Structures are given as structure tokens and as C-alpha cells.
Amino acid sequence: MRIALRRFLRWPIRQTASAILTFSALCVVAACGHSPQAAQIAPVPPLQLLGQWGQSGTQPGQFQNLQAITCDAVGNVYIADDGKPARVEKFDATGHPLLVFGVSAGQNDSDIGVDPGNAIFIVDRRHGQVQIYSPEGEPFRTLFFRYRRDFHDPSSIAIDLDGNFYLADFLTGRVAYMNPAGRSLRTWTKPRGIDGRWTPFPIRLAVDGNLYVADAAAQRVEKISPDGRYVASWNFPFTVIEPSLDAPKNTGLTMFRDLIAASDGAKRLLEIWNRDGQPKLTVDFSQHPEWGEHASPTDIAFAPTGDLFVLDRPDSRVLRFKVNIPQ
């Protein structure tokens, strides 16, 4: 393509600028063989932060000593805060406060669960009891275990679709399956196939009916059948603690469809597998200062949508993530 120089110089300025742009575009097409491409979009991270809420304090939406987190069937988030006063807070998925109620004598020490009718179960290992509250936060029933022969030191709970629940004793390694009134339907201790001391905390129930157990003593996740038989296990570096009056405070376990996630707050580590224990994702929170200088997965809970909620005790916050990995 030729443009006579003498004629080009006699064009008005506007026409000259237009010709220069046209000539530049034609050069690019001639050199590359196609039109310029738009800048590539950055890939979506496997663990994508969607939002966060919370700060230190005693007002709704504020926290003092975060302990445990769970979600109900519609994705509302429940948090046990062992502060002064001890209380439970309920939020929608975006962090809007829906309910706050106090619990006496630090009754949210170990774990929290929600049944199909949205009754709220607080496991109080300090006093050997499970406190049940109505969906509005009113006291409904207390199940006492401290002086029972078969089961006396509850620490973690997993509730099924019928309202029955599994309760684990971290100290003795016993698991009991109970009806809503607290009557034992069956119990078992360490399943055959597990060696050494067994510390079932926390325990969680998957859609396949199997229990998944965080076993800090053995530093692994274990898959247990509903009647207490060992099925499978895989390694995870939980912080090992000695038996004491306090249950572990930095161990999380949750599941969604075919994904199983575990966390250790002391090591700031989170890992996700499929239900057969095949690794899917490992995340070291210390490598992600954009989530918070001290961000740590103290406890974790999947919502029915698949969003992952992380209880970050050091920063008194809840972090909400989208998990972008194939199932």
C-alpha cells in the first residue's frame, strides 16, 4: 500500500491522524496475520476469597474467642463464641447477623451442630453435657453425660437427617449414636484396623452415610462406617496434643458432595481430598497475606452451595471462599 508523501503532507491534521492509525493497524495485520488479541484474563484461583466479616468485640457480628462453626440446610452460618459472655451467633451467607443468644457456663466449649428442624446443639465438654436450643435461641433440653457409665465426656457431634446424632468422646475414644432424647442406640470404641491412641475430634457425617474423623494422635483423617467399622484413612499433619480437660481448639473437618476438607489452625494449613482420600488441594494460609496477616483455619464448614467458611480465630473473622476444583 503506497501513499504519496507530498499529497500526505497536504492533508488536514484530522485526516492525517486518521491515516496514521489506519496505516498502523494494517501493519499489525500484515505482520501478525490477524487482529490484535485482548489481554488474557488471569485464571481463577482454586481457593477464591468471596468475602469476610467480623472483628473483635461483643456486639452482633463481633467475636471474642471463636470455637466452632457449622451451616444449616439453607446455608446460614452458626458460630460458637466462648467469650464473656459465651454465646452463639447466626448469620446469613454474606455475614448479616440473624440471631445472637447467650449460653451459660461456657456451654459452647467444643462443638456446634444444627438438626433438620434448625434446633441448635452445643457440645459442652467442660460440664459433660449437650445443650439443645430452639431455632430462636431458647433453651429446650440439656443432655447430661458426666455421670453416665457408657459415655461421659462429649466433645464433637454429627447430626443425621432423622435428627439422631453421633457424639464422640475425645478422651476415651468412644462414639455413641443417639436419638434426640439422648438415648444410646449403639456405641463403639476404637475400630479394628486403627492402631495406637484414637482421638476422634471432630467427627462429621457425609452424604454417603459414613463418618469422617479427624484423628490428631495418628495425624490422619479416617473414614468410618455408620456402625463403627474402619473403612479407610489418609495422612494429614494435625497438631498432636495430649489428653487433657480441653478438647483440641484448632482442628477442622467438613465435607461437600465428594470433597473432604480438614484444617489445622496451629499450622495454618488446609487440605482437600475426594472421599477416597485422593489429594485435590493444599493451602498454606501463611502464604496468603492478602487474607490477613494472621489468618488461620481454626475451624471450617461447607455450605450446601459448596462455599467454604473458615473460622479465623486470630483475626476474629469469618472468611468465605469458593472452591474452584473439579470433584
Residue 100 amino acid letter: V
- The verdict on 16 and 69 lying in the same domain is no
Could you tell me if residue 38 is inside a domain? no
Cell numbers describing residue 231 = 473403612
Residue 254's closest CA among 210, 300, 211, 208?
A: 300
Could you tell me if residue 149 is inside a domain? yes
pLDDT of residue 248: 67
Cα distances (Å, whole numbers) of residue 248 to 55, 156, 216: 23, 10, 9
Report whether 169 contacts 175 (CB < 8 A).
yes
- The per-residue pLDDT for range 209-242, each reduced to its tens digit, is 999 999 998 999 999 999 999 999 999 999 987 6
- The verdict on 172 and 263 lying in the same domain is yes
CATH number at residue 268: 2.120.10.30
Per DSSP, which regions of 86-179 are E strands? Answer: 87-91, 97-102, 111-114, 120-124, 129-133, 139-144, 154-159, 165-169, 174-178
Residues 188 and 100: their CA atoms lie apart, in Å, by: 36
Binned at pLDDT 50, 70 and 90, residue 30 comes out as very low
Residues 140 and 28: their CA atoms lie apart, in Å, by: 75
For the chain, give the number of residues: 327
Which residue would you say has higher pLDDT here, 312 or 2? 312
pLDDT-above-90 percentage for the chain: 68
Binned at pLDDT 50, 70 and 90, residue 286 comes out as very high
Report whether 97 contacts 77 (CB < 8 A).
no
pLDDT of residue 260: 97
CB atoms within 10 A of CB 115: 21
- The verdict on 173 and 207 lying in the same domain is yes
* Residue 152 reports pLDDT greater than 90: no
- The verdict on 1 and 120 lying in the same domain is no
Which residue would you say has higher pLDDT here, 53 or 22? 53
Could you tell me if residue 70 is inside a domain? yes
- The verdict on 165 and 22 lying in the same domain is no
- The verdict on 21 and 66 lying in the same domain is no
How many domains, the chain? 2
Report whether 125 contacts 154 (CB < 8 A).
yes
* Residue 4 reports pLDDT greater than 80: no
- The verdict on 20 and 80 lying in the same domain is no
Mean pLDDT of 283-290: 96
- The verdict on 13 and 71 lying in the same domain is no
- The verdict on 280 and 185 lying in the same domain is yes
DSSP line for 26-48: HHHHHHHSSPPPPPPPPPPPSEE
Could you tell me if residue 237 is inside a domain? yes
- The per-residue pLDDT for range 157-200, each reduced to its tens digit, is 999 999 999 999 988 899 999 999 999 999 999 999 998 889 89
Could you tell me if residue 316 is inside a domain? yes
Residue 198 amino acid letter: W
Binned at pLDDT 50, 70 and 90, residue 11 comes out as very low
Residues 113 and 120: their CA atoms lie apart, in Å, by: 6
Residue 289: exposed, middle, or buried by beta-carbon count in 10 A (0-12, 13-18, 19+)? exposed
Cell numbers describing residue 101 = 443468644
Residues 71 and 246: their CA atoms lie apart, in Å, by: 24
DSSP bridge partners of 154: 169
- The verdict on 103 and 188 lying in the same domain is yes
- The verdict on 104 and 4 lying in the same domain is no
- Mean predicted lDDT score pLDDT of the chain: 86
Distance of CA 310 to the CA centre of its chain: 5
Residue with cell 497438631: 239
Residue 320 sits at the vertex; the CA angle it makes with 64 and 202, to the nearest 5 degrees, is: 65
Terminal C-alpha separation, the chain? 55
pLDDT of residue 50: 97
- The per-residue pLDDT for range 34-51, each reduced to its tens digit, is 444 556 788 899 999 999
- The verdict on 255 and 284 lying in the same domain is yes
State which residues form the domain around 6.
1-32
